Amino acid sequence: MDFSSKTAIIAVIFVLTFVLNLYFGFLRSKTKRFSFKWFLYIHLPIPVVFVARVFENIDFRYIPIFLLAAVTGQILGGRLEF
């Protein structure tokens, strides 16, 4: 896998992680803190990102980048108002 295609795949997984956590962060903000739903809304996106990372053979060294996208998505999603 060359550098540009690997970078593109990492960028796509980064955006997927951010958007997924943006949605779940919005849902999380509407539930009672430390409830079961609150816990689920934080942790449900993790298997999706894991499967995308493993399916594309992305090394574990990129996990901090995806973690940054997840935390940012959760925080910004919690601040969304509709």
List phi, psi (to 5°) of 56: -95, 5
- What's residue 82's pLDDT? 78
Residue 13 · residue 52 · CB < 8 Å? yes
- What is the span of the domain harbouring residue 45? 3-79
- What's residue 52's pLDDT? 97
Q: Decide: pTM greater than 0.85.
A: yes
CA distance 40 to 15: 21
What is the total count of domains within the chain?
Answer: 1
pLDDT in tens, 28-62: 999 999 999 999 999 999 999 999 999 999 999 99
Distance of CA 34 to the CA centre of its chain: 20
pLDDT at 1 over 90: no
List phi, psi (to 5°) of 47: -60, -35
